[in-house]
Structure 1
Amino acid sequence: MSVVATGTAAADATPPLPSTTPGAAATGKAAESPLSEAPRHKADRIDLGDLPRVAIPAKTRPVTPTRGENCEPTRAGSRERRAGAVQACVTISPKPAATAGKRALATIPPAAPAAADEGSCAITTPATWYYNRFQYCAYDLTVLYTLKDSNGRVLGTGTLSVSTGATLPAKGKTWKEQVRVMMTGATDAVTTLGVKFRAACSAGCTVTDPSPWEGKSLVKDQIISGTVEYASAPAPGTKLDFTTSYKLFVTSPGAQITDPNAAWSNPEKIRCDDDVRDTANGTGTPAPGCVVPSFMPVIPMGTLPNGSDAGAAAAGYLWGQRNLADGWGRDKPLTRAKNDIADRTARTCGSGGSKPFQERTDIVPTDSCGEFPFAATHEGGTDGAQCAEIIPTHSTGGWDFSVLEGGAGKRCVRAHVPLADKQAAEGQLSDGFTNQRVLEAEQFKVDISASVAEPQAACLRASPTDAFQSGNGWIRNTTDPVAHRNKNTTPPDAAGVRAAMAQACLGKVPGTGSPAVGDITGWQDAQQYARPYAAPGASAPYGLARCHLIANILGGKGQVQDGGQLNLVPCWQAGMNTGTPSMRTFEVIAQKAVKDGTIGPNDAIFYQVTPDYQDSTSTVPVGVTMTARIERADGSTQPLFPDVYIPNTKSDTGQLNLGN
């Protein structure tokens, strides 16, 4: 904020107020209002580019297991028992087996959720809960499975990484929680683990689908994911508080287990209510919704003029936040009041106070009283005689303020603002109460900025529930099941998944990719095919590469721990990966469009790569189809490149297709 000093020079910059009221010329009488006699001082200025934002409350907490190590006898006749293991023990550990590069569940949470079933985590710290008002996530909880012999000696271990996350519905009675389990380690006698997951919640909530999957087994580096579903139905005018809890069943494949051997709970309460709207004064229709109530709501309000925002009204409130003794809504929270709003308005602006507000339509043609603190709060309703009185005026890049009465340190402010701006501000406040689910007597803050919302490209406004954040955009990888991860080896490999369609929303802020590694699906099949065509004496991988579907240079992942194995397919290095044309050709086109100004700050590129497989058993694609379009913030689109097919052939020969 830049402040212009008060005094004669500042006063000379703006003409004084007229010395008569609008009707004085006809009567010949001087105005009786002290406002008409006061000079109109340009006393303050706030530059929109300097506005600090009110922080969206969020916090983290460690995940605490609800039980210690749990041991069960191995099944008689099982492979584990034949190997000498008599006990299988499961422990939840706060320390991960490996922490580098693991992928967060999804996106950095916005002030209000974009969709009711997104699982979003702005966190990369293992064994940690993350919360904001609409989101709760548990990231990278390590579960260790250990086989022991009769002397307690360890015969093998299996390590699982568990992450969950949900976005609560601002409007709605149901939501989903994304669950992701990855087998990150296996030693000695442990090669495969059976995993079941169950979610529960306390009174006030129902788990309509407690299990994200049934009968799943995992091998090292494999990921399984799914959703559990919840519902809560508070009666009109009521609220319900409850918590969620989780149980993980880990065992060797084929073993039957009835007791959970890993369990933990969400320490923060969730609230669902049907009590936001005030039906008594007809401000709207009640609708249920849910929040994490321990996190204070923040209501956005914009100051852009000319009808695009709350304009002068929001600017007047901003002046109040900066200059009133209590800094309401910024330094100290406000408290919502659903009743007696008209009485509080009258005390500050009307005949209910000792000094009613006097409109100055000679200065502001549709003048109205923009009171702060709001009449819709328990802090509002101060006698208008105790308020500062200001006129906000927009100028390039900010707002100038003429202080007519009082100044810094007053208990309230009355701003002379156009009626349309006051109505827009009231609408933004009402929408904020609804979107942030602010109940009677609940505290909140107000984030007054240059604009409440700027238009964005379609793919930036909403991301798929199974996408993860990349820069200011997102990436989504999908998979197909295959009977064998490598089908031509002897013997064929175990069942698994192969990379399928990959999508990305590439914003102006690029994400960080990672190089390709690992024994991905089809990697052994591909090397077996390529070996005879390699140069004499050449070593593995015989001219092959692990091709990123979403390129490393575009933020695509390729590591084991960051989930990048789902983004990789076997390919010829010289051929499908590099060359002219190749995948690299079109990846560079997209990269340049992000960097060279082709897209603006709120535009994006929607980018998609789909592997082409011969049939449902294939582990290596015969090629990929690539397509990309530019999505503009104004809603328009244009192709960056149309559907382009890149075959998985060697060099530029068009021969030796690697697909199977």
Structure 2
Amino acid sequence: MKRARHLLAALAALALTAALLALGTSPAAAAPPSAGRAAPKGHGACTATTPGSGPARQGAAWTCIRERPVTAGDLARIRARTAAVPGVAAAPLDGVDPGDNPDASPEALCTSTKRQDVVSNRHAYCMRHGIVYVLENRAGDTIGTAELLVTARSALDPNSVQWQENIAVYAGKYDGVSAVRLALSSSCTACIPGPPAWGGGAIELRAGEEDQTGHLSYETTTRGGGERSRSMIAYQSQTESPDAEYPVISYGQWAGPSVACDGQVGNSPGCIATDDLARVVLSKSQYGASAVAYEWAQNNLSDNNAMGTAKRPLTRDGDEARAKSRSYYTCKAPPKPFVADPTVVNDECDEFPFARTRQGGTIGSMCAEIIPRYVGGGAWRVDVVRDEPVAPCIKAHVPSDQNQNAGRSVGRQVQSERILQGEAYQVVIIP
């Protein structure tokens, strides 16, 4: 864990240096004029106060930036703000922390109790970072503090190479400090960051106040081909006292989320927030007998063959020729080819695992054969036509329209989940 933190810090530093060089400014030139004075050992990122400045008149020899973890009080404030967002739950659903919910919105992710700066799922993320602005005297004693919490939340469009973060800053407890100003910018690898938040200006906050108006934006440099690229985002802050004559700026930086982008899936490039296991979700009410058949396979095949689950996910293979071959072997090949059942309207063979997966294509004589039947009131029964011992697959009698619609939905979700060739995914069946 310690090595991972050091790596993230190094990546953030490299991203900051790259951003400064892109602006034509050397890292040394960007440092505050007083940076030549050694900061107190073990006291974080510190800047010497300017003689005659407000902090200096208070007896502060240094202004410093320290980090702090997200607190229960922070989460309570975020939840209160989140409760005002239409359609967003301000508390965990069914006792599940938003950080464990693959469908959680960026706003909900911000309320996660996970002890980490970045909480994400495949399509959204929230960065939370605590800052403590500290005034220290020459003896190294703390004579003033101001606590801030910075959050950046974003939902990624899987069919776009651009995304935006909504920035919120919460001012917490102040002691010996009347107000602070905060400016925020970001840098990233494999992507182009937009302008700093608040147009490059700073917001001024007093204890208990908050600001929800900031934005940061990005555009990946990935357009197509090659492997999925990863953009590592880093944030840079400038915190100062509201002293118009002699502002004393303290600088901070920290690592943020990573965003994966590719141009391999579908007709357009796009991005996801993490490489969490992809999910294809199919509703029984919408896809009928097909969804029921897949659910039956997951629940009734032996433990070693219950594929499409989180423990035994499917592996995408989008090759058209191989998909046709797999479909043939499961549904049409002798010695026991699929024969339509006259009791099923427009009966068609539907296989699981899918033909467009590496797990598909088992010879049909080894598969269990089933007929899902709707009995009314949202209920189904499954008739087992042929039960093969330790079957690794099923072939199901399904109306053609339900089979085709389910297949098209899987194809759409392969794109929306940005499931690469050879990538694993889970099949989730819902009512």
- The two structures share one fold, judged by TM-score above 0.5: yes
2:170 is aligned with 1:182: yes
Give 1:429 shift.
0.8
Higher relative contact order (CA 8 A, sep 6+): 2
Deviation digits for residues 580-637 of structure 1 (CA, Å, limit 9, x no counterpart): xxxxxxxxxxxxxxxxxxxxxxxxxxxxxxxxxxxxxxxxxxxxxxxxxxxxxxxxxx
Which of 137, 151, 156 is the equivalent residue of 1:168?
Answer: 156
Give 1:206 shift.
1.1
1:291 aligned partner: 272
Count of residue correspondences: 368
Max Rg structure:
1
> Measured at CA, do residues 310 and 408 of structure 1 come closer, stay the same or move farther in structure 2, by a change above 3 Å?
farther
Deviation digits for residues 538-584 of structure 1 (CA, Å, limit 9, x no counterpart): xxxxxxxxxxxxxxxxxxxxxxxxxxxxxxxxxxxxxxxxxxxxxxx
Deviation digits for residues 303-339 of structure 1 (CA, Å, limit 9, x no counterpart): 22xxxx2111111111111112321112410011100
2:361 is aligned with 1:381: yes
Give 1:136 shift.
1.5
Counterpart amino acid of 1:350?
A: K
Q: Distance in 2 between matches of 1:62 and 1:166?
A: 23
Contact 1:324–1:409 (CA<8 Å) still a contact in 2? Answer: yes
2:428 aligned partner: 447
Three-state SS of the structure 2 residue aligned to 1:101 is helix
Give 1:229 shift.
0.4
Which of 132, 136, 147 is the equivalent residue of 2:121?
Answer: 132
Alignment of 1:622-633 (within 5 A): none
2:223 is aligned with 1:235: yes
Counterpart amino acid of 2:144?
A: G
Q: Distance in 1 between matches of 2:423 and 2:197?
A: 35
Alignment of 1:55-134 (within 5 A): 66=9, 69-94=44-69, 96=71, 98-99=73-74, 101-104=76-79, 106=82, 107=88, 120-121=108-109, 123-125=111-113, 128-134=117-123
Counterpart amino acid of 1:73?
A: A
2:202 aligned partner: 215
More helix by percentage: 2
Three-state SS of the structure 2 residue aligned to 1:157 is strand
2:348 aligned partner: 368
- Unaligned stretches of 5+ in structure 1? 1-60, 278-285, 451-660
Contact 1:176–1:229 (CA<8 Å) still a contact in 2? Answer: yes
Alignment of 1:5-404 (within 5 A): 66=9, 69-94=44-69, 96=71, 98-99=73-74, 101-104=76-79, 106=82, 107=88, 120-121=108-109, 123-125=111-113, 128-139=117-128, 141-188=129-176, 190-202=177-189, 204-213=190-199, 214-225=201-212, 226-238=214-226, 239-253=228-242, 254=244, 255=246, 261-266=251-256, 269-277=258-266, 286-304=267-285, 309-325=286-302, 326-330=305-309, 331-339=311-319, 340-351=322-333, 354-360=335-341, 362-396=342-376, 397-404=378-385
Q: Distance in 2 between matches of 1:119 and 1:210?
A: 21
> Measured at CA, do residues 390 and 313 of structure 1 come closer, stay the same or move farther in structure 2, by a change above 3 Å?
same
> Measured at CA, do residues 303 and 100 of structure 1 come closer, stay the same or move farther in structure 2, by a change above 3 Å?
closer
Contact 2:121–2:274 (CA<8 Å) still a contact in 1? Answer: no
1:493 aligned partner: none
Three-state SS of the structure 2 residue aligned to 1:261 is strand
Give 1:223 shift.
1.5
Alignment of 1:471-490 (within 5 A): none
Give 1:302 shift.
1.5
Q: Distance in 1 between matches of 2:356 and 2:7?
A: 41
Q: Distance in 1 between matches of 2:283 and 2:332?
A: 26
Counterpart amino acid of 1:265?
A: A
Q: Distance in 1 between matches of 2:72 and 2:359?
A: 52
Q: Distance in 2 between matches of 1:124 and 1:320?
A: 34
Counterpart amino acid of 2:307?
A: W
1:586 aligned partner: none
Give 1:293 shift.
3.8
> Measured at CA, do residues 405 and 122 of structure 1 come closer, stay the same or move farther in structure 2, by a change above 3 Å?
farther
Give 1:256 shift.
5.1
> Measured at CA, do residues 70 and 424 of structure 1 come closer, stay the same or move farther in structure 2, by a change above 3 Å?
same
1:555 aligned partner: none
Deviation digits for residues 207-230 of structure 1 (CA, Å, limit 9, x no counterpart): 123434513222112212311001
1:560 aligned partner: none
Three-state SS of the structure 1 residue aligned to 2:52 is coil
TM-score, scaled relative to structure 2: 0.78
Three-state SS of the structure 1 residue aligned to 2:412 is helix
Deviation digits for residues 357-410 of structure 1 (CA, Å, limit 9, x no counterpart): 2222x2213111010000011110111111011111011332111111125631
- Unaligned stretches of 5+ in structure 2? 14-42, 83-87, 90-97
Give me the CA root mean square deviation.
2.7
Q: Distance in 2 between matches of 1:158 and 1:113?
A: 31
Q: Distance in 1 between matches of 2:197 and 2:418?
A: 29
Give 1:144 shift.
1.1
1:421 aligned partner: 402
Give 1:99 shift.
4.4
Q: Distance in 2 between matches of 1:93 and 1:65?
A: 17
Q: Distance in 1 between matches of 2:417 and 2:336?
A: 35
Q: Distance in 1 between matches of 2:112 and 2:7?
A: 17
Q: Distance in 1 between matches of 2:196 and 2:261?
A: 19
Contact 2:278–2:425 (CA<8 Å) still a contact in 1? Answer: yes
Contact 1:324–1:408 (CA<8 Å) still a contact in 2? Answer: no
Counterpart amino acid of 2:178?
A: T
Counterpart amino acid of 1:311?
A: G
Following TM superposition, where does structure 1 have runs of at least 4 consecutive aligned residues deviating by more than 6 angstroms? 61-65
> Measured at CA, do residues 373 and 230 of structure 1 come closer, stay the same or move farther in structure 2, by a change above 3 Å?
same
